[in-house]
Every structure is written in C-alpha cells, then in structure tokens.
Amino acid sequence: MREIGKEGRVARLSKASWNITIPYDSDPNQAIFKMQARIAELENRSAPVQQTPQQPHHACNFDGNKLKSMIKESMEEALRPFIGG
C-alpha cells in the first residue's frame, strides 16, 4: 500500500516513467520534486555568453569578375582530361 504525501498527490506513472524516477527517490512524488529541482538547477547555470554580431566590413575587396574567372579556369582545368584537351 502506498502512502499519500502531505499534499495529497499520488503520482500515476507508467512502468517506464516509474523506473526513471527510482534513482532519485523511492517515492515518485519526491522523485519528481527532486528531478524538477535538478532541471531548474541546470537551467540556471550560466548560459553561454552571447557574442555581439560583428559589423560587416564596408571596405570589401570582393571582385565578382575575378571570382568568375577563377571558377571558369578551375572548371576548365578539371574537365580538360575528360574532353581531350
């Protein structure tokens, strides 16, 4: 026979859920309370520091035509053995 806690609550758990609570406490109500406390403790740990997003560099040296020619040259070089060049 199970004892009913002071709050008058009785945990109604599946067998799998019951087995999960056993390492915390033999009373499922106390086990759930302890698990909730542990979850709160983990959530309150120092969260990772949010890094401020870096501002984009306005002086960009990107040259679209140069990139296009580099891609074309590398593709031609890669395909040359297959097209008999």
Q: Average of pLDDT values for 7-35?
A: 76
Q: Are 10 and 29 in contact (CB under 8 A)?
A: yes
d(CA 38, CA 35): 5
pLDDT level of residue 1 (50, 70, 90 thresholds): very low
Q: What is the pLDDT of residues 42-84, one digit of tens each?
A: 888 866 666 666 666 566 777 888 888 888 888 888 888 777 7
d(CA 30, CA 46): 27
Q: Is the pLDDT of residue 17 over 80?
A: no
Q: Is the pLDDT of residue 19 over 70?
A: yes
d(CA 3, CA 17): 19
d(CA 31, CA 10): 12
pLDDT of residue 50: 66
